[in-house]
Amino acid sequence: MNVIACENLTKRQGKENTLHDLSFTLKDKSITGLIGRNGAGKTTLLKILAGLWRETSGEVSVFSEKPFNSMLVSANSIYIDDQMAFPTALTLSELLKEGERFYGNWNMKLAERLFEYFSFHPNQIHNTLSKGKKSTFNMIVGLASRCELTMFDEPTTGMDAAVRNDFYRALLKDYLAHPRTFLISSHHLDEIEDLLEDILLIEDGEKVLQLPMDDLKEYAVGLTGRTEIVRQWAMNKEVLYTQEIDLNSTYVVIKNGYFEVENAKRLGINVSPVSSSDVCVYLTNKKKGGIDDVFK
């Protein structure tokens, strides 16, 4: 069953399309990473899925309904980002009680345990918290809601490394105990790749690729060796990235496929894995090459 379905989804803001003909589906009970650089359109997409913004054109459905102004979507999904605003008249403890009133699957025991673990005081006010503590409290709300669709938009903003690790571990443990659909936006894939089952990579509001995380880990290989040999070996292959190491050697990243590794090694080419994070960077590069090319 698909929780989300988008077909040619477009969102125009001012004179620019922040989303352009975006088509994808998201299956039930999965953890998907929405990956892209800053400005790729991740937040725009999440706000449309949450029913906060209306699409300009195309089709979008969440739980088989248009999400904008949908009570079904509002009651069964939650969107968490670092801009969340809560009433200043309510303490943190009171905010948790309000969450319990609104969300049918709310788990107060989990909320209270996380609240205590992260050393919050019941009488604190949300807007007086530090940036990292705000993100941590928002995370508690997102997990405790146990919504069928939970969307985290760059959820670890301001958190230190230890809290980020605790958050990811808590999310995974609660997902395994109570499976539901998570969509996690990030431009730091290396932090969350062990959580993910699938990724959706977007750039300039368009889909670059969508595939299982395990496939992304095997998506590309790196070739290093004498320039003329590496270039000849890379001919007729999909090259994602090229870097001249020195006058006589070159590093090339190519899309993985069937090729004879041993033959490459006999020619003096070193074959190396390419991280998932680097693959996403190479796939969304405006041009082949890197920052060093600016100074040539």
210 within 8 A of 6, measured Cβ to Cβ: no
| Predicted pLDDT at 33 | 97
Question: What is the structure's pLDDT at 290?
Answer: 61
How many angstroms separate the CA atoms of 268 and 264, rounded?
Answer: 7
CA dist 213 → 6, 73, 196, 216, 217 (Å): 21, 27, 6, 5, 6
Contact in structure between 8 and 59 (CB atoms under 8 Å): yes
- Written as one letter, the residue type at 273 is P
For residue 8, the SS3 value is strand
Beta-bridge mates of residue 12: 17
Strand partners, 17: 12
**If you average pLDDT over each of 11-15, 137-141, 244-248, which comes out highest?**
137-141
Tens of pLDDT, residue by residue over 58-84, are 999 999 999 999 999 999 999 999 889
Strand 57-62 relative to strand 181-186: parallel, antiparallel, unpaired?
unpaired
Q: pTM for this one?
A: 0.91
Distance CA 172, CA 154 (A): 16
Predicted confidence (pLDDT) per residue in 160-199, tens digit = 999 999 999 999 999 999 999 999 998 789 889 999 999 9
Instruction: Determine contact, residues 22/45, Cβ cutoff 8 Å.
Output: yes
- Percent of the chain with pLDDT strictly greater than 90: 80
- Going by C-alpha positions, the residue among 20, 113, 4 that lies closest to residue 60 is 4
Instruction: Indicate the pLDDT class of residue 285, thresholds 50, 70 and 90.
Output: confident
**What is the secondary structure of 77-128 as a DSSP string?**
EEEE-TT----TTS-HHHHHHHHHHH-TT--HHHHHHHHHHTT--TT--GGG
- Could you say which DSSP state residue 293 is in? G
Quick one: residue 29, left, alpha or beta (phi over 0 = left, psi -120 to 50 = alpha)?
A: left
Q: Yes or no: say if 99 and 144 are a contact pair by the CB < 8 Å rule.
A: yes
| Rounded CA separation 111/129 (Å) | 18
